[in-house]
Amino acid sequence: MLVLKSLSLGPMHGYGIGQRIQQLAEDMLQVEEGTLYPALYRIESRGWIESEWGVSENNRRARFYKLTRSGRKQLAAEESDWQHLSAAINKVMQAT
Amino acid sequence: MPNFKFLFRRLQALWRPQRVHDEIAEEFSFHIEHRTQENVRRGMAPDDARREAEQRFGHLTQIREQGYEVRGGGWVEAFLKDFGFGVRVLRRKPAFTMTAAITLALGIGVNAGLFAILESVLIRALPYQDAGRLFMVREKTGPDATVTKLSGPDFDDIHDQGHSLDQVAELLPYFAETLIGQGEPRNVKCTGITYDFFPMLGMQPIIGRLFTPQEYHIDGGGAVLAYRFWKQQFNGDPHVIGRVIKLGNGDVPILGVMPDMPDFLPETDVWLNNVPELEFMHWRQNKFLSVVGRLRPGTSRQVAEQELTAILRRAPGQANVVVTLEPLKDVVVGNASTQLKIAMGAVLVVLLIACVNMMGLLLARASERSGEVAMRLNLGASPMRIMRQFATENLVLVSIGTVLGLGLAATLVRVVRESNFGNLPRVSGIDIDARVFLLALLVTLALSVVFAWGPVSMYSRWNKNRAHQTGRTVAKRPRAFRLLVVSEMGCALVLLVAAGLLLRSLWLAEHVDPGFAGERVLTTYLRTNYYEAEGARFYDDLLDRIGHTPGVENVAVADCVPGRGAATAQIKFDDRANDRARSVLADGCWASADFFKTMGARLERGRLFDAHDQASAPAVVIVNETFAREHWPGRDPLGKRIAVGYTGPGRRSTGAERLREVVGVVADMRMHALDVPIKAALYMPFKQDETYHDFASMNLFVRTTGNPVWFADTLRRQIHAVKPDQTLGIIATMDDVLSSGFSQRRFSLGLLGSFAALALLLAAVGLYGTIAFSVSQRTREMGVRVALGATPENLLTMIVREGLVLAGAGIALGICLSTVCTRAISSMLFKVSAFDPLTFAAVALVLVAVAATASYLPARRAASADPMEALRAE
């Protein structure tokens, strides 16, 4: 979900996605950066994102990922799921 | 959610796995570089910056592997790798590969070929509209439920009153007419039909048209040509429509040409109309018409049979008739069905043996490779992964076998289709179609897995460590091999016994005394179109002319052909009450005076026919011994009087029944094929048929003094000298006639015999392989034995005995199986029991001899080996 969310702002390469997730999460989530890539490939195999070679801001060849239409749908679905879930959890937590 | 673009890329990865690796590596290095730059920007030393970036990235190789798993070729790639490995392994062992591939090719080849035949002949639907609902209508009458065809009135009743058949048509299959004026005069095979026969099948002529209902009522109203005949006789001329041809005594216009019909009545040259107005179409007891009907949708076969039975029982004298419907396809296939099913069973046994052999070969190889496998298992390969690799390697092997096998199958199919030595129906349609292909593919895949399972299950029982330590199989005498070889021998024995029984049946059938001496007798079929008394002159001239030709001993005509068939006669006696419902039947034959002399039949009592038995003379008849024994047991048949009604093809009827005096008794002649039991038979002077219909077609018999084959041309010239446009059938010797009655037997024997030989060969190879393997595993033991004083003869005996013990167990198993299996062919046996001890013993002997040879070869090699060499080999 985080990957999809970060790509909803526009196409980006792997490094950038990692950065964006860190920014979005305000450095609360820290992972081994490399593990991002198998995750990216898996999401790509589901068809939610696409990739192609492009040129990065510092003029180097880099692989750019962008959200597909079904990816956008998936993001919306996951967002609403997440909101339902977190709302439910919130309710439970507030009840006590 | 299928993502085709991604799948496509994965497929591409199969071609260039390196490219995917490169892409992943580039992406990662881009990441790390970026991070390094970032770190440098934050003020780190370049080296530290790089190290920190790599650390943050994680375990590079592992992540790369994970990434490749998603993006690379996946299991397909693993499969291809195993496949390539398999090919290399097999290429390194050409002897093994060849043996295995040929074994499999034989097994798969005969199976695919026979299945293709079975599928085309038995399973495939007839190519007619809604063919599953087409049935042949038949009647059963009398206490022994004799199956007969239908008569004209029967057909009319069913046609007019029946509701369970949508459409119904009558057929008069295969009668001969002469075709004159189209090149050489020749006989053509005609089939009479009602005008709605082809519409019922849903067939249209390719050119021209079918009979109109009006033309249908005119004798000679028109002819519809069969495709093959049109191509042969008229060179496929499209302007043939409207041309008038001389068929028999009539001029018939050609109406149309039907498309090729290889399934039903394939030998028909010309389709003619059955004319319902003709006299013989109105005789209730003249059951000579084949009737085909289409079952109304929603009506069951039983309901239809009941309805039609009820209708026909209303007719006088038919209170006991039962109507049966037989699917048209079953009629077309006939008794080829049993034959093919038995052959299919036989080839399945061959496949089984081939598989068992393969399993043996693979087990042998597996134990050679045990070191490799043990190593891999210890290094952590999962048994599943090893199984998968073995399955893939086997797939390579099995694929080679399948491809070769399909080639073999194609050859087999072509041979059967082109020679048709078994007189199979629907033979021209036999081919290897998608269904056969698919089945072969499935069998291939299944076999690969099964073959992998054997060795792997063997490995899984091992103590890994021990196998690894010694680095080779611990001289284990694999019991599995022995069981395999025993079962192989058993299966081969079953097939050999079956083939042996068929061989003995054929031999016995061929050596039945026919009751006549046919070595020097030529015969041919004469279709004369004489339906009146004038025919007598033609036959007098013909018999006189041929009788005076040098080289001829005797000459005669008759409407039957001993050894091939005779018409059925209905008999009434004047010395007893004749039960209408239980008519007495016998083989009947109109013959000229010298018929018995020409055939070499023996007269038992009374006299033969002579020149005085003319149309005007008192009516006489000669019966065979069986007839005399059955109907006048213990009494003198001479002087007794019977009336003979002919129930042969429709044109014959004696009209008024007149009594004939029995003037002679001849020894039994085989009137049908030699393996058909003798029936009561009677013979009448051919000029005493008061309808003269027997003149229309006769068979000529000539006893020659020399080799009959040299006389054929003379015979043809002499006949044409009497009547230039006389058509002739095939000129054959009586020996040919007798032998052609066994074509089905020969076909069955040929099939089963070759499959049995194949099975024996494969079993011998299996036994050889097992003994050779066991010997190679025991080199050290042999060495020790020799060192301890065993002579080469001792070793030889020991090893051969081992093979014979296996063969003995196989024979015991096979005899048990045979007692069950040979019952399947009991209907094809002649004068031989399904448990014929002689056949069983002979086959067992053959198997012992083969087993001894198969184990002698490796034994001799072992025995002649140098003991020191053997010991050092370890």
Cβ contact (<8 Å) for B30 and A62?
Answer: yes
- For residue B135, the cross-strand partners are B293, B327
At B436 the three-state DSSP class reads: helix
- The pLDDT value given to residue B582: 67
Burial readout B172-203 (b: 16 or more C-beta within 10 A, e: otherwise): bbebbbbbbeeeebbbbbbbbbbbbbbebbeb
**Closest CA–CA distance from residue A77 to any residue of chain B (Å):** 15
- The pLDDT value given to residue B339: 85
At B27 the three-state DSSP class reads: helix
- The pLDDT value given to residue B867: 65
**Closest CA–CA distance from residue B55 to any residue of chain A (Å):** 8
Q: Per the structure block, which two tokens stand in for B244?
A: 């008038």
Q: How is chain B split into domains, by residue range?
A: 4-72, 143-319, 337-510+743-872, 529-725
Alpha helix stretches (DSSP H) within B258-382 = 301-313, 328-333, 336-368, 370-378
- The pLDDT value given to residue B471: 42
Please name which of B167, B172, B182 lies closest in space to residue B129, comparing C-alpha atoms: B167
The contacts found for B120-125 with CB under 8 angstroms, 24 or more apart, are: B120/B426, B120/B429, B120/B430, B120/B431, B120/B433, B121/B333, B121/B336, B121/B340, B121/B424, B121/B425, B121/B426, B121/B427, B121/B429, B121/B430, B122/B333, B122/B336, B122/B337, B122/B340, B122/B341, B124/B426, B124/B429, B125/B329
Cβ contact (<8 Å) for B70 and A42?
Answer: yes
Alpha-carbon distance B337 to B340, whole Å? 5
At B547 the three-state DSSP class reads: helix
Structure confidence by residue, pLDDT tens digits, B516-574: 998 899 999 998 888 888 889 999 999 999 999 999 999 999 999 999 988 888 888 98
What is the dihedral sign for C-alpha B865, B868, B869, B873?
positive
Between B427 and B685, where is the model more confident?
Answer: B685
pTM of the model: 0.75
Alpha-carbon distance B788 to B783, whole Å? 9
Q: Which residue has the tokens 């709605």?
A: B196
Q: Amino acid identity of B633?
A: P
Alpha helix stretches (DSSP H) within B725-791 = 734-740, 743-777, 779-787
Cβ contact (<8 Å) for B6 and A44?
Answer: yes
Between B576 and B678, where is the model more confident?
Answer: B678
Please name which of B521, B668, B524 lies closest in space to residue B601, comparing C-alpha atoms: B668
Alpha-carbon distance B608 to B237, whole Å? 53
At B242 the three-state DSSP class reads: coil
- β-pairing, B250-257 with B223-225? parallel
Which of B168-172, B374-378, B426-430, B440-444 is the least confident region? Answer: B374-378
Chain A residues touching B63 at Cβ < 8 A: 34-35, 37-38
Structure confidence by residue, pLDDT tens digits, B627-656: 999 999 989 999 999 988 765 554 445 455
The CA–CA distances, whole Å, from B791 to B379, B785, B874 equal: 45, 9, 21
- For chain A positions 6-65, those within 8 Å of chain B (CB to CB) are 13-15, 18, 32-35, 37-38, 41-42, 44-47, 50, 56, 58, 60-63
Q: Return mean pLDDT, chain B.
A: 85
- The pLDDT value given to residue B871: 62
Q: How confident is the model at residue A93 (pLDDT cuts 50, 70, 90)?
A: confident
**What is the average per-residue pLDDT within B757-778?**
85
Structure confidence by residue, pLDDT tens digits, B587-600: 999 999 999 999 99
Strands across the sheet containing A12-13: A12-13, A61-67, A49-55
Q: Amino acid identity of B489?
A: M
- The pLDDT value given to residue B630: 93
What is the total residue count of chain B? 874
**CA within 13 Å, CB half, B670:** 24
Which residue in A33, A41, A50 is closest to B58 by CB distance?
A33
Cα angle B268, B270, B272 (rounded to 5 degrees) comes to 115
- The pLDDT value given to residue B552: 94
**Closest CA–CA distance from residue B443 to any residue of chain A (Å):** 34
Which of B8-22, B185-199, B546-560 is the least confident region? Answer: B8-22
DSSP B245-268: EEETTEEEEEEEEPPP--SSSTT-
Between B300 and B11, where is the model more confident?
Answer: B300
Q: Which residue has the tokens 């040879």?
A: B853
Q: Which residue has the tokens 């048509």?
A: B169
- The pLDDT value given to residue B816: 92
Torsion angle in degrees (nearest 10) through CA of B503, B509, B513, B514: -140
Alpha-carbon distance B103 to B351, whole Å? 9
**Closest CA–CA distance from residue B14 to any residue of chain A (Å):** 16
Q: What is the ipTM of this complex?
A: 0.77
- The pLDDT value given to residue B478: 60
Which of B8-17, B124-133, B610-619 is the least confident region? Answer: B8-17
Between B458 and B35, where is the model more confident?
Answer: B35
Q: B692 near B535, Cβ under 8 Å?
A: yes
SS in 3 state form for B110-163?
HHHHHHHHHHHHHHCCCCCCCHHHEEEEEEEECCCCEEECECHHHHHHHHHHCC
Cβ contact (<8 Å) for A15 and B66?
Answer: no
Between B472 and B480, where is the model more confident?
Answer: B480
Cβ contact (<8 Å) for B67 and A50?
Answer: no
Structure confidence by residue, pLDDT tens digits, B418-439: 877 667 888 888 888 888 888 8
What is the dihedral sign for C-alpha B682, B685, B690, B693?
positive
- The pLDDT value given to residue B462: 57
Backbone angles phi, psi at B30, to 5 degrees: -60, -45
Alpha-carbon distance B847 to B862, whole Å? 23
Alpha-carbon distance B365 to B689, whole Å? 79
Alpha-carbon distance B497 to B813, whole Å? 13
Closest chain A residue to B65, measured at CA: A38
- The pLDDT value given to residue B624: 94
- The pLDDT value given to residue B653: 52
Q: How confident is the model at residue A73 (pLDDT cuts 50, 70, 90)?
A: confident
Q: Per the structure block, which two tokens stand in for A13?
A: 């390469």
Q: What is the DSSP letter of B565?
A: B
Alpha-carbon distance B482 to B504, whole Å? 32
Alpha-carbon distance B659 to B640, whole Å? 10
Please name which of A38, A27, A90, A73 lies closest in space to residue B27, comparing C-alpha atoms: A38
Q: How confident is the model at residue B811 (pLDDT cuts 50, 70, 90)?
A: very high
Cβ contact (<8 Å) for A45 and B3?
Answer: yes
Contacts of A64 (CB under 8 A, 6+ apart): A11, A12, A13, A51, A52, A53, A54
What is the total residue count of chain A? 96
Segment holding B43, helix H or strand E: none
Chain A residues touching B2 at Cβ < 8 A: 47
Which residue in A41, A58, A63 is closest to B70 by CB distance?
A41
The rounded percent of chain B whose pLDDT value lies above 70 is 92
Q: Per the structure block, which two tokens stand in for B134?
A: 């087409």
- The pLDDT value given to residue B857: 86
Alpha-carbon distance B854 to B266, whole Å? 49
Cβ contact (<8 Å) for B63 and A37?
Answer: yes
Structure confidence by residue, pLDDT tens digits, B73-88: 666 777 777 788 878 8
DSSP A5-30: HHHTT--EEHHHHHHHHHHHTTT---
| Partner A contacted by B1 (CB < 8 A) | yes
**What is the average per-residue pLDDT within B120-146?**
87
- The pLDDT value given to residue B475: 43
Alpha-carbon distance A30 to A20, whole Å? 12
Segment holding B420, helix H or strand E: none
Reply yes or no on whether the pLDDT at B682 is more than 90.
yes
Which residue in B5, B34, B67 is closest to A37 by CB distance?
B67
Q: How confident is the model at residue B669 (pLDDT cuts 50, 70, 90)?
A: very high
Structure confidence by residue, pLDDT tens digits, B473-524: 444 556 777 888 888 899 999 999 999 999 999 999 999 999 999 889 999 9
CA B135 to chain centre: 23
Q: How confident is the model at residue B469 (pLDDT cuts 50, 70, 90)?
A: very low
- The pLDDT value given to residue B820: 86
Closest chain B residue to A40, measured at CA: B67
Chain A residues touching B35 at Cβ < 8 A: 15, 33
Cβ contact (<8 Å) for A33 and B35?
Answer: yes
Segment holding B506, helix H or strand E: helix B479-510
- β-pairing, A61-67 with B146-148? unpaired
- β-pairing, B270-273 with B186-193? parallel
**Closest CA–CA distance from residue A48 to any residue of chain B (Å):** 9
Q: How confident is the model at residue B27 (pLDDT cuts 50, 70, 90)?
A: confident
- The pLDDT value given to residue B48: 84
Which residue in A32, A61, A70 is closest to B57 by CB distance?
A32
Domains of chain A: 2-95 (1.10.10.10)
Q: Which residue has the tokens 């024979």?
A: B811
Cβ contact (<8 Å) for B58 and A35?
Answer: yes
- β-pairing, B290-295 with B165-180? antiparallel
Closest chain A residue to B34, measured at CA: A15
Torsion angle in degrees (nearest 10) through CA of B384, B390, B392, B394: -150
Alpha-carbon distance B638 to B766, whole Å? 68
